[in-house]
Amino acid sequence: MIAQIRGRVVSLDQTSTIIDVAGVGYLLSITNTTSSKLTLGSEATLATALIVREDDMSLFGFLDQSEKRVFDLLRSVTGVGPKSALAVLANLGLDEIAIAVMSDDDAAFRRVSGIGPKTAKLITVTLAGKITSSSGSTAPSSKLADQNVIAALVGLGWSERLASDAVNQATKDLGAGCGNDALLRASLSILSGLGK
């Protein structure tokens, strides 16, 4: 695994760079933000991710390990490959990604070319609790729990309005810190008297 590269920048454009390391040129896919921080002819150190596939080996470069970590987290989402993950990083800063995930705002990811509505929602759900902003704030867990329970109830056949009303009532009854399981049981109990 190639985890880091340090060498002279011998080629540079908005989406890639070639770093010369002891006479060997490594081609790295990068974001436009990374490109803007590099200078042709100067020495650079980039964190890297080597992606090996049956028909391809690609190297991706990042300004630091935190950017690489978010790249790896994005790739852990079903339907997000390395190019899509890099596109997300190119279009949204690390804090924007963290805030979008923490606030369950999949619209931010839908604006990225190649990310559809289903994948955008999967990003926010899969990365919930795994990412924080640079200020160190974490996800509003009660809101996320509410959204997850509402989605589960809709999946069981309840209308979104009824599911939302039941979750709001259950949250008032149980308190904001209750877990998903307790919230789901309480919401189902409320809905059981209503019928579908």
So where are the chain's domains? 4-62, 65-127, 141-192
38-42, 163-167, 177-181: which range is least confident on average? 177-181
E strand or H helix that includes residue 183: helix 180-192
What is this structure's pTM?
0.67
- Give me the mean pLDDT over the 64-79 stretch: 94
Of the options 3.90.850.10, 3.40.50.2300, 1.10.10.1590, 1.10.150.20, the CATH number for the domain spanning 65-127: 1.10.150.20
Q: In which residue are the tokens 């309480």 written?
A: 186
Separation of CA 183 from chain center: 26
4-62 domain in CATH 2.40.50.140? yes
The residue type at 182: A
For the record, the structure tokens of 41 come out as 């002819």
Tell me the pLDDT band of 178, cut-offs 50, 70 and 90: low
CATH T-level assignment (fold) for domain 141-192: Helicase, Ruva Protein; domain 3 (1.10.8)
Helix axes 65-75, 94-102, angle to 10 degrees: 40
Q: In which residue are the tokens 């902003």 written?
A: 133
Do 4-62 and 65-127 come out as alike in CATH topology? no
* Residues contacting residue 194 through CB under 8 Å, at least 6 positions apart: 162, 166
For the record, the structure tokens of 119 come out as 């994948």
Using one digit for the tens of pLDDT, what is the confidence trace for 110-166?
A: 999 989 999 999 999 999 888 876 544 444 445 656 777 888 888 888 888 888 888
* Residues contacting residue 121 through CB under 8 Å, at least 6 positions apart: 106
Tell me the pLDDT band of 4, cut-offs 50, 70 and 90: very high
- What's the rounded Cα separation, in Å, for the pair 134 and 12? 28
- What's the rounded Cα separation, in Å, for the pair 158 and 61? 46
